[in-house]
Amino acid sequence: MEKKSYPMFYGGVKQHFPAAVVAGGFVFLGDISGREFETGKVKAMDVKVQTETAWTKIKSFLEEVGTSLDNIVRLEILLPKIKDYDTYIKTTHEFWARECPNLLANRPVQCLMEANLYLEEMLVAIDVIAVMPTCH
């Protein structure tokens, strides 16, 4: 099985982990947070802002590897405070309605966990599994 990793950069520095791995017809994204590429820092201590940033990054990564938001099949949502889920899901649904309405009609399965994240200022992280499009 062929496997290809795509590097992750924050503040121009290559990270120790990839942004995406494509293998076996699947795309795996891990720990996509509200940190901005340019600085490696979060823009605001706000779940809505960080969720929007994370989804913008997810969209970008999926397009870079040759698939799209429409092909997401599983999400793992990590929140340091489970009480932030309502804000997370509202922001997510707003993003999907704007960027990929089909996700609202054909939602991926998801797992929600309360967890400590890598940096204290991170208020959301999302792991994604998507499929690569097939040619017919």
Reported as a single tens digit per residue, the pLDDT across 62-113 is: 999 999 999 999 999 999 999 999 999 999 999 999 999 999 999 999 999 9
Domain that holds residue 60: 3-131
Let me know: does 84 contact 78? Beta carbons within 8 Å. no
What is the model's pLDDT at position 93? Answer: 97
Residue 74, domain CATH: 3.30.1330.40
Residue 136 scores a pLDDT above 60? no
Integer Cα distance of 130 and 132 in angstroms: 7
In a domain, 123, yes or no: yes
- pLDDT tens readout for residues 6-46: 999 988 999 999 989 999 999 999 999 999 989 999 999 99
In a domain, 103, yes or no: yes
pTM of the model: 0.94
In a domain, 15, yes or no: yes
Number of structural domains in the chain? 1
Adjacent-strand bridge partners of 121:
none
In a domain, 136, yes or no: no
Task: Answer with the residue of higher pLDDT: 136 or 57.
Answer: 57
In a domain, 82, yes or no: yes
